[in-house]
Amino acid sequence: MSDAAKQPGGKNLRKGRVSLPNHAYLVTAVTASRKPVFMSFAAARLAIQCFHDGDVVRHAQTLAFVVMPDHIHWLLQLADDGNLSEAVRLFKAKVSNTLRQQIWQRGFHDHALRDDEDIRDIARYVVANPVRSGLTKSAGEYPHWDAIWL
């Protein structure tokens, strides 16, 4: 059975997805079989470089991110003509190509930020993931995150 078939509701992740120009989204992408690929410092740093790849940047500005051992959280703002699915596809492809292996589970989860949500609170939520997961006692101890406000 394929990884996609094993994902409950995996095919449904795309239903209702829209790309709104200049809109902010919180994206979560998970490694295949939740393999902790990014426990490797080098692999995590290579993934971070991919957030800034020219093809990715054409679609979206990275506002904040964290690279966890088996997934990423990415707070982004689409460009005027950016496409959410294309930005994520390009990022995931760049990471896989750079690491020379298939990294990702199919699909991704996205949350379009509402007007009443504070984008900086969402960024703080993103960078606090290593603390909530027990990887570190403070965000400052974890090396694989960034936010434009810092």
Domains and CATH numbers, the chain: 19-130 (3.30.70.1290)
pLDDT for 123 equals: 97
Beta-sheet strand order (sheet of 145-147): 109-112, 24-30, 71-78, 60-67, 145-147
- Going by the DSSP 8-state scheme, the letter that residue 106 receives in this structure is S
- Burial annotation 94-131 (CB, 10 A radius, 16+ → b, else e): bbbeebeeebbbbbbebebbeeeeeeeebbeebbbbbe
Question: What pLDDT is stored for residue 8 in this prediction?
Answer: 46
Return the pLDDT at 149.
Answer: 87
Whole-number mean pLDDT of the chain? 90
Please classify residue 88 by burial: count the beta carbons closer than 10 Å to its beta carbon, then call 0-12 exposed, 13-18 middle and 19+ buried. Answer: buried
Q: Give yes or no for residue 111 having a pLDDT over 50.
A: yes
The predicted model gives 34-40 an average pLDDT of 98
Question: What value, to the nearest 5°, has the Cα angle with vertex 62 and ends 131 and 107?
Answer: 80
pTM as predicted? 0.88
Q: pLDDT of 69-104, one tens digit each?
A: 999 999 999 999 989 999 999 999 999 999 999 999
